[in-house]
Amino acid sequence: MLYRKLGRSGVKVSAISFGSMRFPSEEACHQIIHRGLDLGMNYIDTSTGYVGGKSQAWAGRAVRGRRSEIYFSGKSNWAQAPTADAVRKTIEKSLEATGLDYFDFYQLWGLQSAEVVERAVAKGGTVEGIEKARAEGLIKYGLGFTFHGPPEAFQAAVDSGALLCATVSYNIINRKEEPLIAYAGGRGVGVIIMNPLAGGVLGLAGEKSLDFLRDGYRGPWYGALRFLLANRNISTSIIGFTAAEEVDQAVQALQGAETLDEPYRQQLIRKMEAVKFIQGDFCTGCGYCKECPNGFDPQKFMQVMRDFAIYGVDERDLAHWIRSKYPHQDPVEQLKRCTECGECQEKCPQHLEIVEQIQKAKAALSID
């Protein structure tokens, strides 16, 4: 295993580590975590909301008996616990869910503006509550943040000096946050990458345009991970494993990774830029938008639209494409359920224009 310093936290994390958003079952979760621990992985990112609220408890049970081998990170939404007292209660509740005595790290998400950062670090704010929890042993190392906002919020969070690490969405397709990664790295804030495989897009076995990322029988995930490993500002990448075999695969990308350098990274960027592929933000399949009050499934729909963009199908074929992706449902009936209220869009961490995409699909299917 390759280990890298997590900023100024003083700990060394495995360069590939565990996400916890895609565990298909508790059994699979335990197999994944045990396999990873056996191979030397030592960091897991968890949150109260993943896998219908179950994944944190699954992961907690999986590390029982091996607690000292892993840095276990918890997470909460700033907006839901914006004061010292509120966040303290959230931490206690999450610890109860995991069955653990302490978290190693705790991540705040929802620091959406410089003003919110200011409120979080102010007296009586979230940071104070988390520091108190740390002094009492509920959090061992300290606080980080999970970032989905504008650059000025990111810079304010780093400049506050209160945060040890930043979890950032980044991969070879969507490199928008690259300057922020360098900003954090240059200031001793450890960088943790989420969506390293672009929500599974970089695992696409049949995608010819991504052949430059393959290595023999290894799919595009191989080059995509090595691209991240070549960036020394990145401490670790959390992967949403769904099976223990994927852990073994991912670790193959570490072979000789210390020799991967900036020219290698730039070469991959040039190759990526030459490919006609989806650009900018796209659906990572996180599922935050899933609960639609009218019974439509925006998560599934947005992945259908994402793949339409990826495969570069002619715009005139959108109606056919949508129908082919709903073989057991009538997509017209499905889309008619959507009143375009925008509730799902507000929850999307990638800030995708879900309603606009729904309107586009409705127009293609001639729905009034």
* Binding positions for ligand SF4, rule: CB under 6 A: 283-289, 292, 294, 296, 298-299, 302, 338-344, 347-348, 350, 352, 354-355
| Per-residue burial over 173-192, b = 16 or more CB atoms within 10 Å of its CB, e = otherwise | bbeebeebbebbbeeebbbb
Which of residues 22 and 226 has its CB atom nearest to ligand SF4 in the complex?
A: 22
Which of residues 244 and 355 has its CB atom nearest to ligand SF4 in the complex?
A: 355
Which of residues 69 and 343 has its CB atom nearest to ligand SF4 in the complex?
A: 343
The distance of closest approach from Cβ of residue 237 to ligand SF4 in the complex, given in angstroms and rounded to an integer, is: 18
Q: How many residues does the chain have?
A: 368
The distance of closest approach from Cβ of residue 48 to ligand SF4 in the complex, given in angstroms and rounded to an integer, is: 17
Which of residues 288 and 326 has its CB atom nearest to ligand SF4 in the complex?
A: 288
Residue 11 and residue 19: Cα distance in Å, rounded?
18
Residue 308 neighbours by CB under 8 Å, 6+ apart = 318, 321, 322
Which of residues 269 and 355 has its CB atom nearest to ligand SF4 in the complex?
A: 355
Which of residues 152 and 291 has its CB atom nearest to ligand SF4 in the complex?
A: 291
The distance of closest approach from Cβ of residue 109 to ligand SF4 in the complex, given in angstroms and rounded to an integer, is: 13
The distance of closest approach from Cβ of residue 164 to ligand SF4 in the complex, given in angstroms and rounded to an integer, is: 26
Which of residues 181 and 302 has its CB atom nearest to ligand SF4 in the complex?
A: 302
The distance of closest approach from Cβ of residue 283 to ligand SF4 in the complex, given in angstroms and rounded to an integer, is: 3
The distance of closest approach from Cβ of residue 279 to ligand SF4 in the complex, given in angstroms and rounded to an integer, is: 16
From 97, 177, 89, 193, select the one nearest 144 (Cα to Cα): 193
* Amino acid identity at 361: A
The distance of closest approach from Cβ of residue 357 to ligand SF4 in the complex, given in angstroms and rounded to an integer, is: 8
